[in-house]
Structure 1
Amino acid sequence: MEWLITAAGAVLVLVGLRDVFHTLWHPTGRGGLSTAMMTAVWRSTRRFGPRGTIAALSGPLSVIMVILMWTLLVVAGWTLVYWPHMPDSFSYAPGLDPAERADLVDGLYLSLVMVATLGLGDITPTDAWLRLAAPFEALIGFALLTAAVSWISQVYPALTRRRLLALRLASLRAAGGLPSPPRTAATAVLLQQLADAVNHVRLDLDQHAETYYFHDGEPDASLAAMAGYAAGLAVQGQRSREAAVRMSAAMLGRSLEGLAKSLGPFLRRDGDAWEIFAAYAADHGHAPQAGG
């Protein structure tokens, strides 16, 4: 029975580490547990309205909750590893009676101490395998801290690129949009640049799925609001007489279709880009901005 509990603890740790890997380092950027947690936080905050202070907290809160979930999985798993072998496989500091230290609380205490890399030394393993396992938990704890800091540092540059694209589209809309009919070489360059920016945003979303759950506030800074306008620009550009403009507009259209495909799983729906972008805007509490 002792080894069954220990094995269950090891499985729990592996489940947590697998989710960390799939969230932070796998190309899809979507761990099953982390995605479920972020979706739950997103839906919970939307009950208070799709916009406002609570909605603005949904992204940071979802990241915090995922990090806490990973930590709890590791701590709980190692608690189950230690607990069945206490007190016989551990030595205790003077003043601690081993006969009174065989409960789950001590296993949890030791797990917390090791994952936090505190190394207090009042309870130490004596069995050879535990003497090797305990430092491994400390390494996992250090890796979790490093991963959390790295994750946060990667999220905000991706959000900045998304917001810059939205602001550029909003500025173009305020300036009157593309000339009608769009003929100049400068228009082709502009559409090409927009296509490149959309591709960057799509890659950010594919690799950092958590960015979807960050609310961008005002419509001008929200790609959820401005994506429909970008789709309108692609349609308008394809009506040009200039081949270069039509080609750039077609590339923008393809980039937007790819972005819509990446957004589909978050919205749990299929359809053309226009439908996806309308649902995207509604999910973030915005009215889609028309264009074209």
Structure 2
Amino acid sequence: MEWLITAAGVLLVLVALRDLFHTLWHPTGRGSLSTAVMTGLWRLVRRFGADGTVAALAGPLAMIAVILMWALIIVAGWTLVYWPHIPDGFSYGPGLRPEERTDIVDGLYFSLVMVGTLGLGDIAPTDAWLRVAAPLEALIGFALLTAAVSWISQIYPALTRRRLLATRLSSLRTTGLPPPPGTTATAVLLQQLAEDVNHVRIDLTQHAETYYFHDGEPDTALAAMADYAADLAVQGQHSREAAVRMSAAMLGKALENLAATLGTYFLRTDGTPRQTFAAYAADHGYTPVRA
């Protein structure tokens, strides 16, 4: 029975590490547990409205909730690893009576000390395998802290790229395409927009958590401006210039791929790109901006 409990603890730790790997380092960037936590928190926030201060906190709170979830699962798993072997597998400092140390609280306490790399020393493992297991938990705790810091640092460049694209589209809506229509400048501009849309799609694929960050004003929100980008692609495809039509087709294809990513992974829709962009805007509390 003792080893079954220990095995259950090891399984919990592996579940947390697998989810951490799939969220931070797997090409899809989607761990099943982290996705469930972030999606659930986002839906909860949507019940109070997607705009305002609460919505702005949804993304950061979702990341904090995921990191805490990983930490809690790891601590719980190692607690189960240690618990069946208390007190026989450990030595105790002065004032602690081993014959009284049979509670799961001791396992939880030692797990918290090790995952936090505190090394207090009042309880220490004596069994050979526990003396190996305990430092391993400390290494996992250090890796979790490092991974969390790395994760946070990777998010904001992706958010910046998305918001810059939305800002560029908003400026174009105000000033219009470079006159006269059909010039080389128009083709270059549409091609650059296509590249920016592709970057955003890749960011959403590799950093799915960025979807749950609210962008504030509509002119910095791709959820509001995506429909206008589709309008630009349609306008460009009616140009007399072959270069403009080709760049517009590239933009249209990039938008189709973006809509497919949004529909498949976040909105669970399979409609046209326009329908997906409308659902994207609604999910973030915006009205789609048109040309």
Give the TM interval when normalised to the shorter protein.
Answer: over 0.9
How many residues are paired up?
290
Report the 3-state secondary structure (helix = DSSP H, G, I; strand = E; otherwise coil) of the residue aligned with 2:124.
Answer: strand
Distance 2:183 2:122 in 1: 76
* Contact 1:117/1:142 (<8 A) preserved: yes
* Contact 2:177/2:186 (<8 A) preserved: no
Compute the displacement of 1:176 (Å): 2.8
Distance 2:143 2:50 in 1: 35
* 1:1-292 matched pairs, under 5 angstroms: 1-177=1-177, 179=179, 182-264=181-263, 265-291=265-291
* Contact 2:165/2:196 (<8 A) preserved: yes
Q: TM-score, normalised by structure 2?
A: 0.98
* Contact 1:12/1:73 (<8 A) preserved: yes
Compute the displacement of 1:177 (Å): 4.1
Q: Could you tell me which runs of 5 or more consecutive residues in structure 2 were left unpaired when the two chains were aligned.
A: none
Equivalent residue letter for 1:246: R
Report the 3-state secondary structure (helix = DSSP H, G, I; strand = E; otherwise coil) of the residue aligned with 1:124.
Answer: strand
* Contact 1:23/1:30 (<8 A) preserved: yes
Runs of 4+ more than 6 Å apart: none
Report the 3-state secondary structure (helix = DSSP H, G, I; strand = E; otherwise coil) of the residue aligned with 1:173.
Answer: helix
Distance 2:282 2:30 in 1: 23
Q: Could you tell me which runs of 5 or more consecutive residues in structure 1 were left unpaired when the two chains were aligned.
A: none
Equivalent residue letter for 1:276: T
Distance 1:80 1:25 in 2: 27
Compute the displacement of 1:102 (Å): 1.2
Q: TM-score, normalised by structure 1?
A: 0.98
Compute the displacement of 1:48 (Å): 1.1
Distance 2:90 2:182 in 1: 79
1:24-59 deviation digits (Å, cap 9, x = unpaired): 000000000000000011011111111111011000
Distance 2:185 2:2 in 1: 72
Distance 1:176 1:189 in 2: 14
Equivalent residue letter for 2:218: P
Compute the displacement of 1:179 (Å): 4.7
Distance 1:218 1:177 in 2: 23
Equivalent residue letter for 1:37: V
Distance 1:176 1:200 in 2: 23
Compute the displacement of 1:217 (Å): 0.7
Give the aligned CA root-mean-square deviation in angstroms: 0.8
Distance 1:101 1:221 in 2: 58
* Contact 1:79/1:104 (<8 A) preserved: yes
Distance 1:176 1:257 in 2: 23
Distance 2:109 2:14 in 1: 20
Compute the displacement of 1:178 (Å): 5.7
